[in-house]
Structure formats: structure tokens, C-alpha cells
């Protein structure tokens, strides 16, 4: 007489592969952090330089009699009670904005009043010194240029440009879908997370090959020495004051890019992105594991 035995067979899932993907190579990571340092110092020292003459013009000279297209200044208070108090004023074209406490007039260290265009906490050095600001700016400008040229050489020779940054035709056709995914905070997982999406690629290409070279070129256009060595080329952008205005505008466009970039990093996984830019490894997400099952024999 035979008795059927009930046995338990545990079927284990195959070992799961690591979800860490080597996304950023060492040269890219190093040059990324050098760029971060350079751009922060350049922006803050640039604002300090702007404080020396907080107005933007079009043309070759600020003494042409043309009104400034942008100006940050101070004015007396409008009411009797505030007659002795200065107000910060931002003027863009014919429009005036009271910016007291932010631009023009703000609180300095130890409660002192700062009457520079930009507050001390936004500038390097944290006090007004045109000479020191120029030293900071020019040193990091050359470091930024050298780092940028190294990156361009690397990205072409290593294949990083075509492999990681150049969008395919299918990706360009899917721009609408990518915009929708970003607006709905839908972020790629798995294989899709191994590469940049089309909006990232287009933004990086625009910054790397348009905004950054242009801001460097406009900075060079403001140099009297370079203008005298190679005459006439500054006129192509309308003159030295026009170059200064373009330089200023691009700087704020880069700030907008950085703010959007940081926002996307935060909402899509701050630690994951930081780890990838420090160690190179990005977590693309694991596939769900399968559990055990019972069988009768």
C-alpha cells in the first residue's frame, strides 16, 4: 500500500544582477565638478564686477548718450517719513521696479546697509573690491576655458559626443512625449535610465556648443588688449558695450539652466544622481523579484 507524500519544493529566483550602471566615466566627472566650481566663482565675481558700473548699454561706448537698457540704482524715498532713506531701483527700458532689500539697497554684514547693485552674499569677494573681483574672475575664466577645451577634445575622441549626447531621429520625433513625461514627473527606469533623454541631450548641446563658447567670446570682446590686437571683430556684435550686455544675459541664462538642472536632479533622485557624478554608478532600478512556489508530488 503506497502513501502519497506531500513535498515542498522551493524554487528560488536566479541571482539578480546589480542595478548599478556605470554611467559617467572619470574624466567626465572630474570636468563636471571643475565646471561647477568655475561657474559659481565666475558668476559671483562677475556680479561684483558689475557693481562697479551697474548698467548695461548697446553699442561701443557707455558715453554715447544712449540710455541704458538695464540699470540698478538708488533713489530717495517717496514719502516724507522715508525722505532720508534710499530705495533700490531696477530699471529695464522704460519700466522701473522697487527692489529695495534685494537690488540697489540691501542689508550687509552686521546689519549695515549695502548700496551696491547686488548684495554682498551674492558676490566674491563679499565686499566691494573691483581689483579683487577681477582677479578672481580672470583666474577662473582661464581655468574654465582650459577645462572646456579639454572636455571638447575628450568628448570627440572618446565617442562621448555621438554615443551619449547626439540625439537620434527617433528621439527627436519623441520630443513631445519627453516634454509630457517631464511635466508629469515620470522618470525613466531600467534600460531607459542608462542614457540621457532627448531634452537633456538638446539642453546639454545648447549649453556646451552655444552658450558657453558665446559667453567666453563676449568676455574676450570686452578686453581692450584683444580688441587692439585683432581689430574690428568686436563690431560684429555691436561693440564692447553690446558684448558686455550679451555676456550678462548669457550668465543669467546659465543660472536658469542650472536651477532647472538641480530641480530635475532633486525630483528624480538626488542621492542617485550625486552618486553617479561622484562614483560613476547610477541605480537604474531592479526588476521585481519572483517568490517561492509550492508543488505537490
User: How would you classify residue 104: left for phi > 0, otherwise alpha for psi between -120 and 50, otherwise beta?
Assistant: left
Q: Do both 117 and 134 map to the same domain?
A: no
Domain count, the chain: 2
Q: What is the grid cell recorded at 291?
A: 517568490
Q: Do both 262 and 166 map to the same domain?
A: yes
Q: Is the peptide bond before 125 cis (omega within 30 degrees of 0)?
A: yes
Q: Do both 75 and 27 map to the same domain?
A: no
Q: Which of 90, 122, 154 is the last residue of a domain?
A: 122
The side-by-side arrangement of strands in the sheet containing 86-92 is 55-56, 70-76, 86-92, 95-98
Strand, helix or coil at 76?
strand
Q: What is the grid cell recorded at 145?
A: 576655458
Q: What is the grid cell recorded at 54?
A: 551697474
Q: Do both 141 and 261 map to the same domain?
A: yes
Rounded Cα gap, residues 66 and 195, in angstroms: 49
State the pLDDT at residue 9. Answer: 53
The partner residues of 113 in beta bridges, in order of sequence, read 107
Q: Do both 40 and 84 map to the same domain?
A: no
Q: What is the grid cell recorded at 195?
A: 542614457
State the pLDDT at residue 229. Answer: 78
Q: What is the grid cell recorded at 209?
A: 556648443
State the pLDDT at residue 5. Answer: 54
Q: Do both 192 and 277 map to the same domain?
A: yes
Q: What is the grid cell recorded at 178?
A: 519627453
- pLDDT tens, residue by residue, 84-118: 578 999 999 989 999 998 999 988 777 778 889 99
Could you tell me the CATH number of the domain that includes residue 39? Answer: 1.20.950.20
Cβ-proximal residues to 258 (8 Å cutoff; 6+ apart), any chain: 39
The partner residues of 91 in beta bridges, in order of sequence, read 71, 96
Under 8 Å between Cβ of 282 and 28: no
9 domain-assigned: no
| Selection from 143, 117, 125 nearest residue 50 by Cα | 117
93 domain-assigned: yes
Q: Do both 192 and 63 map to the same domain?
A: no
Q: What is the grid cell recorded at 116?
A: 551696491
Burial class of 152 by CB neighbour count within 10 A (0 to 12, 13 to 18, 19+): middle
288 domain-assigned: no
Q: Do both 160 and 240 map to the same domain?
A: yes
3 domain-assigned: no
Domain carrying residue 179: 20-51+123-283
CA distance to 128, 147, 161, per residue, from 53 (Å): 12, 30, 40
Q: Do both 41 and 114 map to the same domain?
A: no
131 domain-assigned: yes
Q: Do both 249 and 192 map to the same domain?
A: yes
Rounded Cα gap, residues 36 and 267, in angstroms: 20
Under 8 Å between Cβ of 21 and 284: yes
Q: Do both 80 and 38 map to the same domain?
A: no
Under 8 Å between Cβ of 70 and 242: no
Q: Mind listing the pLDDT tens digit of every residue in the chain (297 residues)? A: 455 555 555 445 444 456 888 888 999 999 999 999 999 999 999 999 999 999 999 988 877 777 789 999 988 755 444 445 789 999 999 899 999 989 999 887 777 788 899 999 999 998 889 999 999 999 999 999 999 999 999 999 998 888 888 998 898 888 888 888 888 888 877 777 778 889 999 999 999 999 999 999 999 998 888 877 777 888 898 899 999 999 999 999 999 999 999 999 999 889 999 999 999 999 887 543 433 333 333
Q: What is the largest CA-CA distance in the chain?
A: 115
Give this prediction's pTM.
0.83
Q: Which of 102, 122, 142 is the last residue of a domain?
A: 122
- pLDDT tens, residue by residue, 240-264: 999 999 999 999 999 999 999 999 9
14 domain-assigned: no
Q: Which of 122, 153, 170 is the last residue of a domain?
A: 122
290 domain-assigned: no
293 domain-assigned: no
Rounded Cα gap, residues 5 and 12, in angstroms: 22
Q: Do both 57 and 114 map to the same domain?
A: yes
- Give the count of alpha carbons within 13 A of 199, CB side only: 15
H/E/C letters for each residue in 207-221? HHHHHHHHHHHHHHH
State the pLDDT at residue 287. Answer: 43
Amino acid at each position: 500500500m503506497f502513501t502519497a507524500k506531500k513535498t515542498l519544493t522551493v524554487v528560488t529566483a536566479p541571482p539578480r544582477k546589480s542595478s548599478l550602471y556605470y554611467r559617467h566615466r572619470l574624466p567626465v566627472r572630474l570636468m563636471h565638478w571643475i565646471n561647477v566650481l568655475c561657474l559659481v566663482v565666475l558668476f559671483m565675481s562677475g556680479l561684483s564686477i558689475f557693481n562697479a558700473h551697474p548698467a548695461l548699454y548697446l553699442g561701443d561706448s557707455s558715453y554715447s548718450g544712449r540710455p541704458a537698457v538695464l540699470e540698478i540704482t538708488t533713489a530717495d524715498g517717496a514719502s516724507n517719513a522715508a525722505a532720508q532713506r534710499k530705495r533700490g531701483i531696477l530699471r529695464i527700458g522704460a519700466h522701473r521696479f522697487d527692489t529695495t532689500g534685494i537690488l540697489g539697497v540691501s542689508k550687509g554684514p552686521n546689519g549695515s546697509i549695502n548700496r551696491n547693485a547686488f548684495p554682498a552674499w551674492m558676490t566674491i569677494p563679499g565686499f566691494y573690491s573691483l581689483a579683487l573681483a577681477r582677479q578672481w574672475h580672470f583666474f577662473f575664466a582661464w581655468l574654465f576655458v582650459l577645462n572646456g577645451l579639454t572636455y571638447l577634445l575628450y568628448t570627440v575622441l572618446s565617442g562621448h559626443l555621438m554615443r551619449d549626447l547626439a540625439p537620434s531621429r527617433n528621439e527627436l520625433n519623441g520630443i513631445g512625449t519627453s516634454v509630457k513625461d517631464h511635466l508629469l514627473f515620470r522618470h525613466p527606469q531600467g534600460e531607459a535610465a542608462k542614457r540621457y533623454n532627448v531634452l537633456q541631450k538638446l539642453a546639454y548641446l545648447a549649453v556646451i556648443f552655444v552658450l558657453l563658447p558665446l559667453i567666453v567670446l563676449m568676455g574676450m570682446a570686452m578686453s581692450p588688449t584683444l580688441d587692439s590686437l585683432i581689430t574690428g571683430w568686436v563690431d560684429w556684435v555691436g561693440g564692447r558695450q553690446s558684448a558686455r550686455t550679451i555676456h550678462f544675459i548669457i550668465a543669467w541664462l546659465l543660472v536658469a539652466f542650472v536651477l532647472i538642472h538641480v530641480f530635475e536632479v532633486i525630483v528624480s533622485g538626488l542621492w542617485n544622481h550625486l552618486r553617479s557624478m561622484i562614483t560613476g554608478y547610477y541605480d537604474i532600478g531592479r526588476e521585481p523579484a519572483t517568490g517561492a512556489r509550492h508543488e505537490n508530488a
